[in-house]
Amino acid sequence: MIDTLMMYMGYPFVRYAMMVGVMIALCSSLLGVTLVLKRYSFIGDGLSHVAFGVMSVAAVLNLTNTMIIVLPGTILAAVLLLRTGQNAKIKGDAAIAMISVGALAFGYLLMNKFSTSTNLSGDVCSTLFGSMSILTLTKDEVALCAVLSAIVVIVFILFYNKIFAVTFDETFARSAGTRVNAYNLLIAVVIAVIIVLAMNLVGSLLISALVIFPALSSMRIFKTFKSVTIFSAIFSVCCAFFGIVISMLAGTPVGSTIVAADIVAFGICSLIGRFTGAR
């Protein structure tokens, strides 16, 4: 088994997949804690469907570098979702559900009607579930992913205390003169970036899993914001790593295998939490 693994690791595309997988897992877990606590668990799902929709527009327009319009499109949707969250004509979860389902439907509609590809259902399936696109990454894509992940991690560390304050008590933070709207906007933009990155890995249907499982698992065991955040990062990286390894050895789809690993690990964490009485 080790031999097979080493043989696989000899290929550069496998190493790329590994690197990208781990980086994305790290990024998505960082903000997961905030999103889960702010009751925004489904924003990942909503935004990823938006990304799917924009991606199908890109496919129809025959753009080779989809990132150019997918990233700004998703960021725009994230900002809009946040605005509706505050103005409350249509409340948070309903707005997310609406945008999410709408984008999904329009994306599929566009692809179905105008797509030039011969393998339509294959295309749709791979955008939704990630499938093999992570194994076809080019060096440039890996570099882009590395740069964006580094930015996400640095932004998160620099604004860690602000993010904590805004998550724990928005009202108090606002009264103390913290620019809550600006930080919420920052969180939304970072989330959008992470989601666009993660689409390569697990596809748009499974992104929520990357965001919420690490956070939920670590909240079972740990009690301080710092320890929860650090553990969820470790949790997510480990699950992504083992998920990718298992998927190579067993020949299973990468995205689903990572999520399966997340679920198993969540179960273990829940047991530990119950056993130690942490929760």
Partner 1 sequence: MALITAKDLSVGYGGQTVAEHLNFKVNSGDYLCIVGENGSGKSTLVKTLVKLIKPVTGEVKYGDGLMPGEIGYLPQHTVVQRDFPASVKEIVLSGCQSRMGLRPFYNSEEKKLAADNMEKMAITDLANKCYRELSGGQQQRVLLARALCATKKMLILDEPVSGLDPKVTAEMYELVAKLNKEGITIVMISHDIKSAVEYADHILHIGNTIYFGSKSEYLNSKAGKIFMMMQSKDPHAGKPLTV
Which residue's CB is nearer to partner 1, number 150 or number 158? 158
* Cβ atoms within 10 Å of 23's Cβ, excluding its own: 23
Residue whose pair of structure tokens reads 């530990």 in the numeric block: 272
Residue 235 contacts partner 1 per CB under 8 A: no
Q: Which is nearer to partner 1, 106 or 159 (CB)?
A: 159
For partner 1, the closer of residues 87 and 117 by Cβ is: 87
DSSP state of 11: S
Least distance (Å) between residue 191 CB and partner 1 = 17
Tell me which residues in 145-164 interact with partner 1 (CB under 8 A).
Answer: 157-162, 164
Shortest Å distance, C-beta 100 to partner 1:
22
- 276 phi and psi angles, rounded to 5 deg: -85, -5
DSSP 8-state code for residue 10: T
Integer Cα distance of 197 and 21 in angstroms: 10
Q: Which residue from 16, 108, 222, 235 is in contact with partner 1, where contact means CB under 8 A?
A: 222
Given 62, 116, 118, 171, the residue binding partner 1 (CB under 8 A): 171
Helix axes 12-37, 254-276, angle to 10 degrees: 50
Interaction of residue 228 with partner 1, rule CB under 8 A: yes
Under rule CB under 8 A, residue 224 binds partner 1: yes
Smallest distance from partner 1 to CB 197, Å = 24
Place of tokens 């560390």: 157
The residues near 260 (Cβ < 8 Å, ≥ 6 apart) are 243
Residues of this chain, 37-66, that bind partner 1 according to CB under 8 A? 37-39
Phi then psi for residue 125, to 5 deg, are: -60, -40
Binding footprint of partner 1 on the chain (CB under 8 A): 33, 37-39, 157-162, 164-165, 167-169, 171-178, 219, 222-226, 228
